[in-house]
Amino acid sequence: MNTGKVTLVSAGPGDLDLLTFRAAKAIAAADVLLIDDLVNDEITTLKAAHARVIKVGKRGGCKSTPQAFIQRLMRRYALQGRHVVRIKGGDALLFGRAGEEIADLRSAGIDVDIVNGISSGFAAAAGLGVSLTHRDHCQGVIFVTAHLRDGSEPDWEKLAATGMTLAIYMGASRIEGISEALGKTLPVDTPAAVVQWAGTSREKRVCATLGEIAARAASENIASPAVILIGGAIGEGVAQLAARSESMCRLSA
């Protein structure tokens, strides 16, 4: 039997309208679908009737499918000649442990295709109506996870000193400590936002200053999955949301 292949499909932030055509075609051609926890369940409506669906949930603070087990499943089915589609939330190449999976599959002689998608950081920015790289405010954006593999945190002071927009993933439970650490370098009135379930019908947004964002997020019960955005460019979105709110108030008066 010929060896099959694995396709790492990026499901985007949740809304099926944000899937790429290439992602939809890969899902329709799959024999086996391995689906992450944060992926919209409706994505299975795109599969072929014969395709097997296996949920392999992985979320911080929750019971998770071991990464080694997921990789064994991919190898097993691919070596049986199946087309395995590993569906990941957001973009597969951003904080999705794709590097480990690609290396493992290639070491077993299994071909790997990658389908890019929309990361939640971009979906959060779209919801706020901001450019993460607005040239009046910064020269770039840094996507960073709030905790490293060993449980430690990034050097927030060095990241703050870059002057870049910071898109912080997996940091909702640590937002108070993060904002305090960034506040050692950045002014406390630096614009900030937290967006939960970005790009979905459940999206919630909180905008404030760096000094206030943790308290505001707590008061609005913002929790994981959420993206934290920090930087001058985010102020554009805060201003637009405020103007929109004021306009709605005038219309309802």
pLDDT 10s per residue in the chain (253 long)?
A: 578 999 999 999 989 999 999 999 999 999 999 999 889 999 999 999 999 999 997 655 556 789 999 999 999 999 999 999 999 999 999 998 999 999 999 999 999 999 999 999 999 999 999 999 998 898 999 999 998 877 788 999 999 999 999 999 999 999 999 999 999 999 999 999 999 999 999 999 999 999 999 999 999 999 999 999 999 999 976 666 555 544 433 333 4
Note whether 192 and 211 are within 8 A (CB).
no
Question: What is the pLDDT at residue 239?
Answer: 61
How much is the pTM? Answer: 0.88
One of 31, 58, 74, 91 is an active-site residue; which one?
58
What DSSP character marks residue 12?
B
Beta strands 204-209 and 165-169, pairing class:
unpaired
In the chain, what's the furthest Cα-to-Cα distance? 71
127, two tokens? 């919801």
The residue extents of the domains of the chain are 5-115, 120-242
Amino acid occupying residue 142:
I
The Cα–Cα gap between 218 and 228 comes to: 13
Q: Which CATH architecture has domain 120-242?
A: 2-Layer Sandwich (3.30)
Contacts 24+ apart (CB under 8 A), 60-67: 60/170, 60/173, 60/224, 61/173, 61/224, 62/37, 64/37, 67/97, 67/100
Q: Quick one: CA dihedral 16, 21, 24, 26, positive or negative? A: negative
Catalytic residue selected from 31, 88, 91, 170: 170
- Please count the residues of the chain: 253
Which is catalytic among the residues 36, 47, 91, 164?
Answer: 36
For the question of residue 36 being annotated catalytic, the response is yes
Q: Which CATH superfamily is domain 5-115 in?
A: Tetrapyrrole methylase, N-terminal domain (3.40.1010.10)
Q: Among all chains, which residue has been given the structure tokens 């049986």?
A: 80
- Would you state the pLDDT for residue 58? 65
Q: Per DSSP, what are the bridge partners of residue 83?
A: 5
**Residue 252 structure tokens:** 């309802």
CA distance 148 to 144: 10
Distance (Å, whole) CA 171 – CA 164? 18
Q: Which pLDDT does position 245 carry in this prediction?
A: 47
